[in-house]
Amino acid sequence: MGGRRAQADTVGTVFFVGVVVATVAVGGGALLTDGSIGDELSGAVQTPLADLSVSVTPVDLSVTHEGGDAIPLDPLAVVARSGGTTERYPIASANVTDVNGDGAFGPSDDYERGHGLTGATATVMGPTTRRSPRVRFSVTVHRR
């Protein structure tokens, strides 16, 4: 009779270890994901990920999209600051070289605009979402 009891203990232990491993795997997976699946299901706007190259010369501001997601033009802007003066320049289709013609600021697209600020710094301000009304990305470049 003692042998049957030992077998039941082994099966119970293996079952318990399996439950713990499955719980840790599901919990760890939930913690490590960025929530994009849930956002897609809820209809939330995704945050674009892009590599932008920004340069400021004494007369021009330029932004080049080096790679990543295309960014809608509508709320995209460059904010230039010099001393106490701040100028906001929307990145509009008139100032964008739209390489693939999609109407968004995508890979290999360029934006260039003149400015009249001395010693300016530039910040690229990106789109916001319904869920998070703050700026989704910001890149600041100081004049060289």
Q: Which domain holds residue 19?
A: 2-32
Q: How far apart are CA 137 and CA 76, in angstroms?
A: 10
| Same domain, residue pair 15 and 63 | no
CA distance 68 to 113: 23
Distance separating alpha carbons of residues 132 and 47, to the nearest angstrom: 10
- Pair (66, 24) in one structural domain: no
Residue 138 is assigned to a structural domain of this protein: yes
User: 132 versus 91: which is more confidently predicted?
Assistant: 91
- Lowest mean pLDDT segment, chosen from 26-30, 63-67, 104-108: 26-30
The CATH number linked to 92 is 2.60.40
Please indicate, yes or no, whether residues 28 and 55 belong to a single structural domain of this protein: no
Mean pLDDT for 74-85 is 82
pTM above 0.75, yes or no: no
- The model's confidence at residue 17, banded by pLDDT at 50, 70 and 90, is very high
What does the mean pLDDT of the chain come to? 75
Q: Are residues 66 and 121 in the same domain?
A: yes
How does residue 141 score in pLDDT terms, banded at 50, 70 and 90? low
Same domain, 74 and 128: yes
Answer yes or no: do 115 and 61 share one domain.
yes
Q: How much of the chain is in helix, strand and coil states, percent to nearest 5?
A: 30, 35, 40
Please report whether residue 45 resides in a domain: no
Are residues 119 and 76 part of one domain? Answer: yes
Rg (CA), the chain: 26
pLDDT in tens, 22-59: 998 888 777 666 555 555 555 555 666 788 888 888 88
DSSP per-residue letters across 18-39: HHHHHHHHHHHHHHHS-SHHHH
